[in-house]
Amino acid sequence: MTHHEERWAAAWQWLGLAPADPGLLAALLARYAEPHRKYHATEHLDACLAHFDTLQALAEHPGEVALGLWFHDAVYDIGVPGNEAHSADWAREALLAAGAAQALAQRVHALVMVTCHDVTPQTNDQQILLDVDLAILGAPAHVFDRYEQQIRAEYAEIPEPAFRARRWRILQQFLQRPRIYHTARFHDAREAQARANLERSIRHWK
C-alpha cells in the first residue's frame, strides 16, 4: 500500500465508511497532478496531511477534517470562479454515495468551503483545517519565497502589473487580520514568521 493509499484509507476508517467509487483516490491524485498546478499540487496536499498530524488530537471529527483536506483543492482551474464550491460538492457527493449521513457530508462540505478564506471559521475543525491550509505563510523565509514563486508560475498568464496588484491585495488582507492562525499551537509557532513573510512579500509586490 502506498503512502497515499494508507492516508486515504485511514481517513475513511475514521468515519466508519468506505468510498463507493474505488477509483476516487486515483481521480483525486490525478487532479492534484495536473500540469498547470505549481503550488496547489500533490506536494501541497502531502504537506497539509502532514501538518494535520500535529493537530489531529485537537479535532472533534478527525476523519472529516482529513477528507476535507483531501478535497479542499480537488478542483483548481486557474481563472475560473467557484473552485472551492466544485471541490466541496464533489466531497459531499462522494460521502453521500458512501452512505454518510447528510449532516456529516454537509460538515465536510463546509470545511472545504471555509478555504475561500472570506468567512470566519465557525467550528474547531474549521479552524484546524484553515491553519493547516495556511501553514505555508508561517514557513521559513526560503520556503515561503519558493511558494510565492510557485503562485506566480500558476498565474503566469496574468500580466505582471495585474498580478502584482492582486497579490499585494490578497497578502494585505491576511496581514491585517487580528490573528492569522486560530489554534494556539500554530499561532505560537508560526504567527510571527507569517507576519514577517507577508510584510516582506508585500514590499516585493508593491
Nine-digit cell string for 64: 472529516
Residue-averaged pLDDT of the chain: 97
Q: What is the pLDDT of residue 1?
A: 84
**Backbone conformation region of residue 100, classed left if phi is above 0, alpha if psi is from -120 to 50, else beta:** beta
**What is the pTM assigned to this prediction?**
0.96
pLDDT in tens, 19-70: 999 999 999 999 999 999 999 999 999 999 999 999 999 999 999 999 999 9
| 160: confidence class by pLDDT, cuts 50, 70, 90 | very high
Residue 206 has pLDDT above 90, yes or no: no
**Within the chain, where are the H helices?**
3-15, 24-32, 42-55, 62-71, 83-97, 102-113, 124-133, 141-154, 160-175, 184-205
pLDDT in tens, 80-124: 889 999 999 999 999 999 999 999 999 999 999 999 998 899 999
| 149: confidence class by pLDDT, cuts 50, 70, 90 | very high
Q: What is the pLDDT of residue 44?
A: 98
Q: What is the pLDDT of residue 45?
A: 98
Give 116's DSSP letter: G
Residue 6 has pLDDT above 90, yes or no: yes
Residue 35 burial (CB count, 10 A): 6
| 4: confidence class by pLDDT, cuts 50, 70, 90 | very high
Q: In the chain, what are the domains?
A: 3-133 (1.10.3210), 137-205 (no CATH)
Q: What is the pLDDT of residue 155?
A: 95
**Backbone conformation region of residue 68, classed left if phi is above 0, alpha if psi is from -120 to 50, else beta:** alpha
Q: What is the pLDDT of residue 72?
A: 98
Residue 127 has pLDDT above 90, yes or no: yes
Within 13 Å, how many C-alpha atoms sit on residue 34's CB side? 15
Q: What is the pLDDT of residue 9?
A: 97
User: What is the C-alpha separation between 137 and 145, in angstroms, rounded?
Assistant: 10
Q: What is the pLDDT of residue 2?
A: 96
The CA R_g of the chain, rounded to the nearest whole Å, is 17
